[in-house]
Chain A
Amino acid sequence: MTEQKRTVAIHVPVLARVEGEGALDLRIDDGDITQLRLRIFEPPRFFEKFLEGRHYTDIPDMVARICGICPVAYQVTAAQALEKLFGIELSPWARDMRRVFYCGEWIQSHSLHIHLLAAPDFFGCGNAIELARLAPEEVRRGLRLQALGNELMDLFGARSVHPVGVRVGGFHGAPSADRIDAVRQKLRAALPEAEALIRWAAAIPLPPDDQTFVSVGMRHPDRYAIETGDIAASDGLLIGADAFDVHFAEQHEPHSTALFSSYHGQPYLVGPLARLNLNRDRLPGSVNTLLAEIGFALPSRNIFQSLLARAVEILLALQEALRLLDGYQVPDSPWVPVTPRAGVATGCTEAPRGLLWHRYEMDDDGRVVNARIVPPTSQNQGRIEEDLRLSLLAFGLDHPDDTLRLHCEKVIRNYDPCISCATHFLNLNVERT
């Protein structure tokens, strides 16, 4: 039998239907991957410049425009960084409601990703519409959960897309007790749905995968880190947001206008699986019992379990929102007064897709001198390339081009990067020699 060597060059010049622009180049020569480049053009790069000279009161609304899916993450991170610099102590009400607001975003973003983007891959479906034919009840359930997440965001943000509720010092307004009562009933009703979602996700057959990587995410002394906490890594690192630059670096690569992040020179994972890998001991007991029951062992080295991790975080977010809204009362004031001061503000939170870090240099008038925003997608970019290389080698390179392309897409979508918000974005041009 003659072994047939081949050269395959897969160029995707523009990834269509994505937030920003990106591309994938893959070249295989004589059975080896000789080029693998994921090129991303991230919108947040432009926002940093837009922010210069803007007053601190504008920042939460401006950064909310960075992402239509995770605006709360940007708002809360910016507000938190500035509140730290200005020496602001949030009221207990505002502190709790920031977490509830954030839970809403996790619920809607994770529900969307699971049902519209990731799950179709594991059922051999081209998109969510095809999945809806196979699993209509599950897709309906996913859409209900997503709508509930949106409703929570709308409660505190006045709208779910690019909300406007957050201000430095708290919120602009407080929802009425009647509205909170109504949403609490829905949250309670959604708990069994989220549990069913976890069981469904756990039953999805996943490709075998066993990779070594560093997980990076936030960690809080006594709860599952969402909107507050320090930055932790699975090798034992635990630092405050202000020490991010000491351990993490961003650098330009010639093939991308997005910055690649590295941790001590290495790629790393951020996002729901990294969070669970770092914070299993911060999960409520009932959630841990459920994980044991379904056999979800943590830490996990199978990146395809990210879908299940998202399902677990939906349940966690529902429980947290319900807990924090128990005994809700409209506060005397939803915000505390703020006096700006000059200095450097850093802050981080856990966006649905992973760690989000902000740094603002502010002047005496409370205006931005310069800003830096490190979004999760940039941080995962190096890890995605590494994963693609390892996954393709494990998968085998002698598959037809369409099969290789599909596998690449599946790997990329698994990270839920903004650029892969399209389900099938690779329009292949294949060259063979």
Chain B
Amino acid sequence: MSRVRIFGIGSPSGDDQAGWLVVDALLETGILRDSGIVIEKLDRPGASLISRMEGAERIVVVDAMQSGGMPGGIRHFDRNDVSDYGQGLSSHGFGVLAALTLARELGSLPPRLDLYGIEIGSAMPGEEACAAVGTAARQLASSIASELNVRARG
């Protein structure tokens, strides 16, 4: 499996598709074609995110985020930002932060982790994502693709 993996996390619920939209946009650009980079959409992977990171040198995770900002805002976190997380550890509600925290405890975090959060609004099942989230997803995809492409060439 590739040493660089990009995971877009989401669900078919309105803006919660943010991570998937980034994957769609990355695949559409074709910039990373033949790069050997794994690019996958994941639907609420829970603890299985940990095994998906196994053996990777670099993981890029994109997920929806609600931090009170305007939909479409993008924030970046790295492995040092994975803070202690002791709440909500259930098999049904085992989220990305819980998985990354557990991975850190197990020494399973890759050397480089880029976690991108896209601020979202409504996450109603069956709805489309709003325009601001769509725009942000394309911007982020473009930025990730350029950076990885430069590194690959460099």
Contact = CB atoms under 8 A, between A and B. Distances in A.
Contact of B101 (A68, A126, A129): A129
B86 A127 contact: yes
B152 interface: no
Nearest to A137: B106
Contact of A129 (B89, B90, B107, B108): B89
B89 A127 contact: yes
A160 B93 contact: no
B79 interface: no
B105 A160 contact: no
Main secondary structure of the interface of B (DSSP, over half): loop
A128 B51 contact: no
A49 B95 CA distance: 30
Interface string A374-396: 00000000000000000000000
B5 interface: no
Contact of A117 (B50, B84, B90): B90
Contacts of A116: 47, 89-91, 94
Given A147-B51, A422-B90, A128 B44 contact: no
Nearest to B94: A116
Contacts of A109: 91
Contact of A136 (B84, B89, B106): B106
Main secondary structure of the interface of A (DSSP, over half): helix
A132 B91 contact: no
Interface string A1-41: 00000000000000011110000000000000000000000
Contacts of B43: 159, 161-162
Contact of B105 (A132, A146, A421, A424): A132
Contacts of B48: 143, 146-147, 150, 160
A112 B47 contact: yes
Interface of B: 43-44, 46-48, 50-51, 84-94, 98, 101-102, 105-108
